[in-house]
Chains A and B, each alone.
Chain A
């Protein structure tokens, strides 16, 4: 289990609380229903993230208490690693203070505006401090009331208590009092949000107590904690000037060259030499007055004729190259905005190996199936996780689709959209997932009327950098590569649905047969383990794969309809 303290080492601070006051809407605090969902989202994603990083099977409980008209108390409690005392003000009091904010990592909360935004929202609407109760499992439980000092971008602990922790409780509970919000059981509300969260996180046990006291449980259906995503160095094609500039300011490397080599993927010493030539070429091209010549040269540069262009400038080129070489040797914190711009522009012309994709963490086909099955109880379910791909030439992403059909599903089409496992509840129309889902010719897959089909489609797009259409982060931009991948995944899932529908009964029968065999496996494994001394788990695996093999092809299984014990002569 990663220690809470280690997670906090990467803590960085940015100063933008004022910014929030002016931009609350942009950060998800628009509308009475959405604001409530956003508060819950910030707290719940933090709980799930923290558990995941610490290797804990999450147990998250959300309670919405109605205190008055459009006045609620929101309580979110988890069994995560807890927050060390000295970080409480940072976590809840500073904007963009997250541990994940500056890491190139696929994460639920992507910009670190996170929980302090919720604290701020509570403060603005109800005037109340946020109550935090947390323990890292040690001797004490900290109870603190946190407010944000908007001018100083600083958290203030208004009141703090320490309690003994005799039972060794570990986790975090936060209570926020908010006004101007409304609890409704709509598809934009907390209930729906948690339901979608539960589907995408079958390893989490999630509970909700609604304002009327009703307890809703989304039980855990997988015991497997997803591996935390790993940090990936950004790819040159995936960065903007701002990124390079910001990274240069905080790097520990002492030259621009070393900075670029060590903090980006796919940049080698040789690539730096190439980069120098490209920057020089760009400077020369930009020095041309005639727009026609400029365009023509740019076109040639894009074709990779960098050496030819430089040669045509002769000695002037040599001089510029020297200058750029010097730039590469200077300390990165001295890198100017303009120079960062030049680097990024050069990146656009250059060719790089595709970025590494190992850091992406899909939900996984098996878990999607578990999640959809556990929460929706369909009769048919399938999932497709596509291999990682790259968009805009440098940003790795991956698409997965789950399809549930029939069973307890209502006869209407539902699209469950996710980015990095986080449900997207708003702006569905503008989202690439919606467009891709609608573009599929469902009739070809035996779904006559999509809108009246008992069909739920889950689409999860994961990336270090999900291209949202807006800062509200509720819909994904229509990037060609992403659109294509989503379509391919949907069509694969739909093909399986078609097979199922055309042989529905035959299949059903097979599934039942398979289940019948599977349910005996643990019993048999235990018995055989006692008889032979071999480990139970291994025996289980043998049997499971035997069953899998048998049911690989329906046809084969159908060849043996003999159900009676076969009589044979010895």
Chain B
């Protein structure tokens, strides 16, 4: 049976740390300039050629390539200015205990540079990357800088959370559960009365499980990601696992998108490789949907065709096929079980949704499918 394990990390949110790092950054630059040196910012390079898969920790990690952004270089100066603008903004946010969305951060820092027709930021697509740069440079999460990601996802189950002055049990907030905020850094877990967390891709499936009283009966915490897991949700999963010892089980559609969701929860993403250590949960396991489920539960007539051209056809592979082939190459999917699932998907050319299980009966997923698979530990790594 799945049970809570010993915690491996401690609650570690410390706004002073962020402030100190920002101040240090400012002081270093000032010192350079004071000495008549060309000041620069060292920013770990983003993109595929600077990420690698850490076989030991089993997460996607950022390499050590750096871009050096010099003030005295005309091509860098604007970014240099933007980075410092955001850094100063973050300092104010954190020291005032306020939070802002990425959009707000954009608007707060956008203005016309005196004496020119140029704006400090022309578009949010300019400010977002600068925020990511700061995260990479300082090694702190955007959330720790009080910049909130989009909020998506909710939680339902017998756990008690403290959010500032509020304390509540997420199974007592109605069927909708507790909406995960953009930032979960400051959230504290007061009481945990569940044995594991079940991460569910679709809201429809999460709602079904809640209605069937699955969380109570199975002592499970439902975490609905509503598609790709937001940073807040991923961070929450990470913290629940490492700080509270909760095993993590992921339940998605049986298709390349669902598996990708699993893969980012587990290993981190290429975009956010620098944050893998804080966002990824390599110990997460996968319950379904798998290709094997189709055979085992007789769901053949509720599958759907994969989109795109298969690899053996002219012009292929495209669409879903292409995604699956890419995923087959992921280092963390280099296990017998996963290779088998992915190969079957390619062979059969089908996908299977979570909600296809309703074909059996509404309760089937809550009463039979999940409890059985989890109890028998029929889980993919």
Contact = CB atoms under 8 A, between A and B. Distances in A.
Contacts of A569: 64-66
A546 B118 CA distance: 23
A534 interface: yes
Interface stretch (B20-28, B343-351, B371-379): B20-28
A531 B23 contact: yes
Given A527-B85, A563-B75, A565-B69, A519 B116 contact: yes
Max count, chain B CB within 10 A of own CB: residue among A531, A547, A562, A569: A531
Interface of B: 22-23, 25-27, 29-30, 33-34, 36, 38, 42, 44-45, 64-81, 84-85, 87-88, 91-92, 113-116, 118, 120
A226 B44 CA distance: 50
B77 A516 contact: yes
A144 to B, nearest CB: 43
A532 interface: yes
B65 A519 contact: no
Interface string A498-520: 00000000000000010011011
A161 interface: no
Interface of A: 513, 516-517, 519-520, 522-524, 526-528, 530-532, 534, 539, 542-543, 545-547, 549-550, 560, 562-570
Contacts, number: 107
Nearest to A509: B74
11 contacts: A519-B115, A519-B118, A526-B88, A527-B87, A531-B91, A532-B27, A542-B33, A543-B33, A543-B71, A546-B72, A566-B70
A531 B65 contact: no
A530 B92 contact: yes
A564 B75 CA distance: 6
Given A517-B71, A570-B64, A528 B36 contact: no
A545 B35 CA distance: 11
B36 A549 contact: yes
A562 B73 contact: yes
B30 A532 contact: yes
Contacts of B75: 563-565
A547 B74 contact: no
B10 to A, nearest CB: 29
A306 B287 CA distance: 119
A531 B33 contact: no
Given A524-B81, A567-B67, A531 B74 contact: no
Contacts of A524: 71, 80-81, 84
Given A520-B78, A570-B66, A531 B73 contact: no
B243 to A, nearest CB: 30
Contact of A534 (B30, B42, B45, B115): B30
B20 to A, nearest CB: 11
A519 to B, nearest CB: 5
Contacts of A568: 42, 66-68
A520 B80 CA distance: 9
In order of increasing CB-CB distance, the 10 nearest A-B pairs are A531-B26, A527-B88, A563-B75, A530-B88, A527-B84, A532-B26, A520-B81, A565-B67, A542-B33, A570-B64
A531 B71 contact: no
A522 to B, nearest CB: 6
A564 B70 CA distance: 10
A560 B70 CA distance: 12
A567 B65 contact: yes
A523 B22 CA distance: 17
B82 to A, nearest CB: 9
Given A528-B84, A566-B67, A517 B72 contact: yes
Contacts of A547: 72
Nearest to A515: B116
A485 B28 CA distance: 48
Given A531-B22, A542-B30, A567 B87 contact: no
